[in-house]
Amino acid sequence: MNKIKFYVNSLLGSGANSLLVWLAAVSFIFVFIVSLVTWLLGYGGDETFGDLLWNLTMRALMPESIDAGIGSLPYLLILLLLTLFGIFVLSILISFLSAIIDARVREVSKGIQTFPFDGHTVILGWSSRVPAIVEELVLANESETQSKIMIASNLEHDELETIIKRFIGSTKNTQLFWRSRKLDTFETFKNLNIKGAKRILILGDDTESTLHLARLKTTISLFNYFDRTGIEIPSVLVESSDENESASLIAGSKNRVTPVIVSDLPARLIVETIFQPNLPKVYEELLSFEGNEIYISDLVSDLGLAGLSFENASSKFSTCIPIGLLSANEDVFINPTKDKILEPTDSLIIIAEDDSLIKVDESNGSKQYQIDTKNKSLISNTQKTREKLKVHLVGYSHSTDEIVEKLIQSNRCELTLLLEDKTRVENEILAKLEACNANVFSGSIANFDDLYSFGVSGADTVIISNSNLDHPANSDLDIMRSILSMQKITENAKSPHVIAELNASDSRDMMAELFDLDFVVSDKIGSKIFAQYVENPHLIDIINSLVCSGNHKIIIRPLNTENISDFTFGYLRKISDTIGMVLIGIRFNEDGKVISVLNPGDNTQIPYKSGLIEGVFIE
């Protein structure tokens, strides 16, 4: 019996084609035996064996009613047996065909056929960054009619499809495809038509327990595929968690991949925001495909600007703002000296609303602004206080260690931490905190009494963050509760500058309706930058030169409105050039609300009657 079961199971596991052959063979043998027995017993009348075999076969294939007058009772029973057998066999056949068609449909939907299009973007791996990256790429591709994005993941197809439909909304004129595939095989690369891809992003599946290894294996396998097939290598970006992983990725690709470290950016931006409030809103626009973006221009020789100084070249643009240079060696120079001479092979780093607006305006360059020395005082040059800021960190997230380390290095802050679990902080960081006499307390970040005892009302800046390991989805819940408790604690006192590091943009949007705080959406801003890197790989060096670099930074300074009378943005931009800064935008009050405008255009009048006016500068 066990042997019979084994053979039956082997048969069932041999595939649909084998099952159909066996079904046909068994059916024919059964009909043949029944026909032979009927003919030998004489129940078939005067029919020859051939005629009887044919008639009984048709009876099995096309069951129909049995007339009692067509034969004896044994013959009628034989016909009934064949009719029932035929119904049984046809039922199995229909089930087989249905299963085969369903399996084929599923295989097609999973992408069994090689992707037939070229010029697409391939994303290898699914992580929480993918929705924001796709959103930004959709915005960037609005001018393209047939843009395509292919997502491949180790996740099961149904699971991947459910996640994509849940987290990715409308893609407008961009077509989105997805496939469940092992990410590090040649078969996958061929199936995704890697050779026809415009760009490739390697993120890895964040469900992988060994994510770093998975990304490295995918990178090595991908470049082995390129080398073996001899195809032209497109732009390849790989997300990296730190410098060590980046070094491995570069070595594994033989220096042909661009590793992108975005995990540390929220921490760096938070540190900058401590000393410069309202900064996240500026970066959020610059690092998105909505509004103004950072572009790399054509060669200055093509623009007719070779041999000019950076200051003179900047004055020839009225709808965009040059903020630096990219040399032929791909060195980035942010806010170079105004007398820096442009080489023919240099390119300008420009802030513009669209690349179509990057054009030389000779009439703008011919404008002669008469800069009165006293008008240089239009820009408030307030002295930085030497007193250390009292910075309270409430809660712990993936950014906390780096925030603490950078603030200790700055030597400009007195640190106090409120943590629910001190063991999550690295021992090295705890030792540094102890060395700088920082206070570390234990308590709940969402508890009113703990926050009150913690003394948040006496801080200059409060950073609220949280990463709930047990219930990740509740991370933002505790942050929002903490903000609400803080607002109650400080309602009768001067409120500190609050920076909230949230995990989801919808949480930010909700809280921004209630409170005017600085929100840093850690995952969102990293994803925005990754998407920008796809279009502009040089942005890596530009952002590294701006955010927490120690060399250049974005600052917001008040303008002396008593000296402003019908001045244009272009005039203020010229003044800022004379004091070594690049003006990129303004902030002003309108109906009780602060409006931020980047690159409003040189001919825009400054709304000097609106009260407080601030300039957004690059130092």
Cα separation, 607 vs 162, in Å, equals 49
Q: Kindly give, in sequence order, each residue whose CB lies less than 8 Å from that of residue 525, ignoring residues fewer than 6 positions away.
A: 265, 266, 269, 280, 283, 284, 287
Q: How far apart are the first and last CA of the chain?
A: 85
Task: Tell me what pLDDT residue 17 has.
Answer: 67
∠ CA(335), CA(340), CA(341), 5° rounding?
A: 135
What phi and psi, each to the nearest 5 degrees, are found at residue 221?
Answer: -65, -40
Confidence of residue 608 (pLDDT cuts 50, 70, 90): low
Query: Which has the higher per-residue pLDDT, 501 or 11?
Result: 501
Task: Tell me what pLDDT residue 364 has.
Answer: 58
User: Which tokens go with 328?
Assistant: 């032929």
pLDDT in tens, 392-421: 999 888 888 888 888 888 888 889 998 888
pLDDT in tens, 166-207: 888 888 889 999 999 899 999 999 999 999 999 999 999 988
Q: Kindly give, in sequence order, each residue whose CB lies less than 8 Å from that of residue 419, ignoring residues fewer than 6 positions away.
A: 395, 396, 425, 440, 441, 442, 443
Confidence of residue 11 (pLDDT cuts 50, 70, 90): low
Domain boundaries defined on the chain: 14-109, 121-261, 389-523, 553-619
Task: Tell me what pLDDT residue 194 has.
Answer: 93
pLDDT in tens, 51-86: 778 877 787 777 776 766 666 778 778 778 887 887
Q: 353 exposed, middle or buried (CB, 10 Å; 0-12, 13-18, 19+)? A: middle
Query: Which has the higher per-residue pLDDT, 589 or 372?
Result: 589
Query: Which has the higher per-residue pLDDT, 4 or 228?
Result: 228
pLDDT in tens, 481-515: 888 888 888 876 677 888 988 877 777 777 877 77
CATH architecture label of 389-523: 3-Layer(aba) Sandwich (3.40)
Tell me which of 25-34, 328-337, 439-448 is least confident: 25-34
Task: Give Cα 121 to chain centroid, integer Å.
Answer: 13
Does 14-109 carry CATH code 1.25.40?
no
pLDDT in tens, 560-605: 766 666 678 888 888 888 788 899 998 888 777 788 888 998 888 8
What phi and psi, each to the nearest 5 degrees, are found at residue 209?
Answer: -75, -25
The full 3-state SS of 106-174, as one line of letters, equals HHHHCCCCCCCCCCCEEEECCCCCHHHHHHHHHHHCCCCCCEEEEEEECCCHHHHHHHHHHHCCCCCCE
Q: How far is CA 563 from CA 304, 312, 582, in A?
A: 36, 26, 20
Task: Tell me what pLDDT residue 350 has.
Answer: 93
**Residue that has been written with the tokens 């001479």 in this structure:** 341
- Asked if pLDDT for residue 28 goes beyond 60, the answer is yes
Q: Do domains 14-109 and 389-523 have the same CATH topology?
A: no
CATH architecture label of 121-261: 3-Layer(aba) Sandwich (3.40)
Tell me which of 98-112, 122-136, 489-503 is least confident: 98-112
Q: Kindly give, in sequence order, each residue whose CB lies less than 8 Å from that of residue 105, ignoring residues fewer than 6 positions away.
A: none
- Asked if pLDDT for residue 385 goes beyond 70, the answer is no
Confidence of residue 208 (pLDDT cuts 50, 70, 90): confident
Q: How high does pLDDT run on average in the chain? A: 82
Residues of the chain above pLDDT 70, percent: 87
Tell me which of 96-110, 429-443, 539-553 is least confident: 96-110
